[in-house]
Structure 1
Amino acid sequence: MEETMSQAFRQTACRPGMRRIVLGALCALALAPAAHAAEFASQPVRLVVGTAAGGAVDTYARVVAEALSREIGQTVLVENKSGANGNIAAQYVIQQPADGNTLWIGTQAMVEINPVAFKQMPWKAEDFVPIIKGVEAPLVLATHPSVPARSLQELIGWARAHPGTGYASFSPGTPSQFLGYQLSESNQLDMVHVPYRGSAPQVADMVGGHALVGFTQIQTSLPLIQDGKLNAIATTSAQRSRFLPDTPTLDELGMPELQTTVWFGVMAPARIPADTRERLEQALVAVHRDPVVIKRLEDTGYDVSGQTGEPFAQAVADSRQRWAGLVKATGFAPED
């Protein structure tokens, strides 16, 4: 039976008209992957940012957009869709075709904390795949000069003698809040969370003496530390910061559980085809290895990471578990 069907197929395929149809179909199948891959960068690529223009995330996106445009030979645009802790931007991206032409500039808080903090959210962690961690920076545990502590142990002793001391965060639901909670809990301190709406107002109140302790972003606190308006106690990175080489890390001081960095990176819809994802990753790796790009990003106070693939995805997954525990422990409930 199979032999009879095979003979019939060969006889049919040998007819001139059918031969063209069969060959055309085979060629279409052979060329399908190439045509699929060509969809990426066949039109302007959009980097969607979940914060307002002019901020740190927006600056990163624009540096990457300019270099990526040169790398792929296509226009790369930055679109700002701020609001809802980045969820508006994320929702917008997953509603677009997953062809690599619409990407999300994710941040640590948006990618790692939002999925475990929001009870109702228009996207799920599985909706995105991490492409590249672009830049990262540690937080700095800083104090007002009136606090008579120049080391972590001195700070712990002072805080224990002053129950009810507030620790300032640059925003609720960020590592700035959760690390303050961990510091207080692990050392049996009675510290109270004082949330701010941004890094600038946080450090402004710390300089004014209205808040005496806080985990700050290095980009905003470094000039104040250099001017003696704030004191740096420790940083949260694995190695000492090149900006504060004389300041120890919390890991060095015996508190590795407080190690973290704030990062920005590029995320793609999880439905993106494998070949498109590979091409996109290669282009972004080249961008983040460009010496001009590295200098521009480092000048903003960040270190270039360039982590990709499974290591990046696993790091995100592990961090989500960590933040989930802290969200539960602190009772943090974002405004949906």
Structure 2
Amino acid sequence: MGITRRAAVAASLAALAVPARAQTEWPKGQPIKVLIPFAPGGVPDIISRIVTPKMGEALAQSFVVDNKPGAGGGLAGQLLTQAAPDGYTLLMGTVSTMSIVPAINPSLKYDPNSFAAIGLAAVVPMVVVVRAESPAQDMKGLVELIKSKPNFNYGSSGNGSILHLTAELFKLRTGLKMQHIPYRGSAPALQALLAGEIDVVFDALPPTMGQIKAGKLRALGLAMAKRSPALPDLKTLGEQGIPGVEAYTWAGLYAPAGTAAPIVTRLNAELLKSLADPENARKISELGYELSPSTPAELQAHTAAELKKWTEVARAADVKAD
């Protein structure tokens, strides 16, 4: 998902066309809070801390990154529904907050499609990794290995995580059977993989890059529509004869439902400028993230599509919140 140069320019011009009264009324000087659905160090936290300083400079306004972990990312979503639609409380949403948690946890009462989408910032590809000693050299080899081993298993960062759902999507598309072994985070799952306790992990690219480059893990395929600049020689699953397995985590900025269009437009314009800043773009790319700026309408459509997709996967795989 991305934005054309023409769309970016249009968004910037639209921001300049915001009525004078709306621009003078907002922002008024109070800090703009960005809710983060997970603890410090995750994708939404890192992206927010990279992009908000430039946004703050442009708006002459301070931004506060407010980590609100809980309910698999759902707590931050609930908090956004309770916030006033005045442009002073935002959410850096992820695939978990906006797509997976609402699908598997009906007790969380919020509709991601109701939020005011501001713009997508970045996506993080999911990669299939095995330890270096595995006989699987590519996805064809992995499929053969799974078929030959009745107790073949995969690890994830926990029940209902994007790692879990990506593996389930792979199972649904291929008809293969694997046993799920959940861990309390990606790092423990990767350690278990290296120790030979599990057979494969479907993980985000950044946490695996170091071990891949060190030769301790072998990347078999990328669960994306196109290859990643971080590993340009790694084929996608589609290129290896396994279509329909596209999965990635992502970070997108949202405001409460009912936020005025001029505020959304201005925030989108400043987000685009911050993402286009060479230093910010370098920082994001070096982490293994892929820049994916968008218009508000594009993020709104992306949100609806992701929610539909992961709801269908969760139901088909009978995944429910703990």
Query: TM above 0.5, one fold?
Result: yes
Instruction: State whether residues 71 and 287 of structure 1, in contact with CA within 8 Å, keep that contact through their aligned partners in structure 2.
Output: no
CA distance, structure 2, for counterparts of residue 194 and residue 152 of structure 1: 20
CA distance, structure 1, for counterparts of residue 81 and residue 174 of structure 2: 42
State the match for 1:284 in structure 2. Answer: 271
Pairwise CA distance, 1:228: 1.2
Matched, 1:157 2:134: no
State the match for 1:183 in structure 2. Answer: 170
CA distance, structure 2, for counterparts of residue 109 and residue 194 of structure 1: 19
- How many residue pairs match? The answer is 304
CA distance, structure 1, for counterparts of residue 300 and residue 81 of structure 2: 18
| Pairing 1:52-67 to 2, within 5 Å after superposition | 52-67=39-54
> Who wins on radius of gyration, i.e. which is larger?
1
Q: 1:35 aligns with which of 21, 24, 47?
A: 21
Q: 2:123 aligns with which of 136, 157, 170?
A: 136
Give CA deviations for 1:285-318 in whole Å, capped at 9, x if unaligned. Answer: 1111111111111122211110222222112211
Pairwise CA distance, 1:54: 3.3
What residue identity is the alignment partner of 1:69? Answer: G
Pairwise CA distance, 1:37: 4.1
CA distance, structure 2, for counterparts of residue 242 and residue 126 of structure 1: 31
CA distance, structure 1, for counterparts of residue 293 and residue 263 of structure 2: 18
Instruction: State whether residues 43 and 250 of structure 2, in contact with CA within 8 Å, keep that contact through their aligned partners in structure 1.
Output: no
Instruction: State whether residues 113 and 300 of structure 2, in contact with CA within 8 Å, keep that contact through their aligned partners in structure 1.
Output: no
State the match for 1:85 in structure 2. Answer: 72
State the match for 2:101 in structure 1. Answer: 114
Instruction: State whether residues 87 and 122 of structure 1, in contact with CA within 8 Å, keep that contact through their aligned partners in structure 2.
Output: no
What residue identity is the alignment partner of 2:126? Answer: L
1:126–1:217 CA distance, 2 compared to 1 (3 A): closer
CA distance, structure 1, for counterparts of residue 24 and residue 318 of structure 2: 47
**1:70 aligned counterpart, secondary structure:** helix
Pairwise CA distance, 1:62: 1.0
CA distance, structure 1, for counterparts of residue 39 and residue 269 of structure 2: 28
Instruction: State whether residues 124 and 249 of structure 2, in contact with CA within 8 Å, keep that contact through their aligned partners in structure 1.
Output: yes
Instruction: State whether residues 174 and 242 of structure 2, in contact with CA within 8 Å, keep that contact through their aligned partners in structure 1.
Output: no
CA distance, structure 2, for counterparts of residue 182 and residue 65 of structure 1: 34
State the match for 1:15 in structure 2. Answer: none
Matched, 1:312 2:299: yes
CA distance, structure 2, for counterparts of residue 82 and residue 268 of structure 1: 18
CA distance, structure 2, for counterparts of residue 208 and residue 202 of structure 1: 10
1:111–1:307 CA distance, 2 compared to 1 (3 A): same
What residue identity is the alignment partner of 2:292? Answer: S
Pairwise CA distance, 1:158: 1.2
Q: 1:201 aligns with which of 182, 188, 197?
A: 188
| Pairing 1:143-292 to 2, within 5 Å after superposition | 143-292=130-279
Pairwise CA distance, 1:196: 1.7
CA distance, structure 1, for counterparts of residue 56 and residue 195 of structure 2: 44
- Runs (5+) with no aligned partner, structure 2: 1-18
Bigger mean CA deviation after superposition, 83-92 or 95-104: 83-92
Give CA deviations for 1:212-238 in whole Å, capped at 9, x if unaligned. Answer: 111011111111111111111001122
What residue identity is the alignment partner of 1:224? Answer: Q
CA distance, structure 1, for counterparts of residue 212 and residue 90 of structure 2: 36
CA distance, structure 2, for counterparts of residue 326 and residue 184 of structure 1: 10
Matched, 1:330 2:278: no
What residue identity is the alignment partner of 1:264? Answer: A
Task: Supply the RMSD in Å over aligned alpha carbons.
Answer: 1.8
Give CA deviations for 1:184-222 in whole Å, capped at 9, x if unaligned. Answer: 343332211111221111111111111111101111111
Instruction: State whether residues 137 and 237 of structure 1, in contact with CA within 8 Å, keep that contact through their aligned partners in structure 2.
Output: no
Pairwise CA distance, 1:91: 2.1
Bigger mean CA deviation after superposition, 63-72 or 102-111: 63-72
Bigger mean CA deviation after superposition, 122-131 or 75-84: 122-131
Task: Using structure 2 for the length normalisation, give the TM-score.
Answer: 0.89
State the match for 2:12 in structure 1. Answer: none
State the match for 1:125 in structure 2. Answer: 112
What residue identity is the alignment partner of 2:21? Answer: A
Matched, 1:96 2:83: yes
Give CA deviations for 1:54-108 in whole Å, capped at 9, x if unaligned. Answer: 3332221111221211121111111111111222222222222211111001011
